[in-house]
Amino acid sequence: MSTKKDYYEILGVSRNASADEIKGIYRKLAMKYHPDRVPEEEKKEAEERFKEISEAYAVLSDSKKRGLYDQYGHAGIDSRFSTEDIFRSTDFSGFGFGGNIFEEILSGFGFDIFGGSGTRRSRKSKGEEAHYKVGVTLEDVATGVEKTIDFHRLEPCSRCKGSGAEPGSRKITCSACRGRGSVSTGMGFISLSQVCPQCRGEGEIIEKHCSSCRGEGRVEISKSVKVNIPAGVNTGSIVRLREEGNFGPGGYGDMYLHIGVKPHKIFQRAGNNLKCRVKINMVKACLGGEINVPTLNGKVKMKIPPGTQPNTVFRLRNKGVPDLRTKRMGDEFLEAEIEIPIKLSGRERNLLKELARLRKEL
């Protein structure tokens, strides 16, 4: 009789668990029990657990092997497949990344599975991204604006040309990885390849560090760039400036400008539309007329119909702000606020009383 644990119990799933459930549980367990995520004293136990859950997943994720296991138990698997066969023939894809499930999980730790790239140096990475906040006004949003951005970034050291090595010195082969840029470790049936921590994947070590940048290969400088902020941006919009970030072995990273629109003293923004309140005196509200109303491009005249009531909303077409993508203009909506005079002259009071009598309101 087999002394192996039940694969379903190992993963903690029911026998009718779906393939997606099994994948999800395996991913959580693999992240939890990976030996590089536990204290040193727990590594041996974690390694055994990791191998155990990986073997269980290898069987239960494959419909053919799962069918044999469900019918015959471990005997149905052990008599037909070796451990190596199980892992060699099992498809571990299906997490939306187009690759092996082990690669997806372990790549977060800097590993390659089965020594896949253990003989290759790691790809040189670009420098870090830069992020800056930029404030714009609602008027800027309406037309677009050119801004000058002052910032600091890391550029190649002029003394060593970005190599980090003192001019005249040389680089020597890394003794830890022997120039491969990666080191391998065995974990049972799995061979893992990790970026060499000593040379950081370069395969070479600087013999003498540059006296200017102390081996970093880059120095901080001040820089200014002009950038066009497009019309229609909103708070949260991001403008990308290619290769304006920091320098790295693989080139410059990008800069991201995070836009914030400043509050306006008159208008509130609702998408591409603008809203505001306008004061209308009592006489024009009753008799009608024209008033000057604000827009982002200055004041314009607007007709007021007789009998305008408080909170009546008027619409000015194409007086809002443009859509960031389509450039279609929004509208401006004005809410009427009827002004009631606080002080009246004697004649004004008498005229209002006469009006009230005519309307039989006295």
Spell out the domain ranges in the chain: 7-109, 130-261, 268-358
Task: Please spell the DSSP secondary structure of 77-99, one letter per residue.
Answer: HHTT--HHHHHHH-----SSSSS
pTM for the predicted model, two decimal places:
0.59
Q: What are phi and psi of 350, to 5 degrees?
A: -65, -40
CA distance 205 to 202: 8
pLDDT category of residue 98 using cuts at 50, 70 and 90: very low
CATH of 268-358, one of 2.70.98.60, 1.10.10.10, 2.60.260.20, 3.10.20.600: 2.60.260.20
Q: Which residue has the tokens 């914030």?
A: 260
Q: Architecture of 7-109 per CATH? A: Orthogonal Bundle (1.10)
Q: What are phi and psi of 255, to 5 degrees?
A: -110, 140
CA distance 196 to 178: 10
Rounded to an integer, the average pLDDT of 116-124 is 48
Strand partners, 292: 301
Q: At the topology level of CATH, where does 130-261 sit?
A: Chaperone, DNAj Protein; Chain A (2.10.230)
The pLDDT value given to residue 3: 67
User: CA angle at residue 137 from 132 to 143, to 5 degrees?
Assistant: 105
Q: What is the pLDDT of residues 231-280, one digit of tens each?
A: 999 999 999 999 999 998 888 999 999 999 999 999 999 999 999 999 99
Do 130-261 and 7-109 have the same topology in CATH? Answer: no
- Farthest CA pair distance, the chain: 113
Task: Spell out the residues 6+ positions from residue 88 whose beta carbon is closer than 8 angstroms to its own.
Answer: none
Rounded to an integer, the average pLDDT of 308-333 is 96
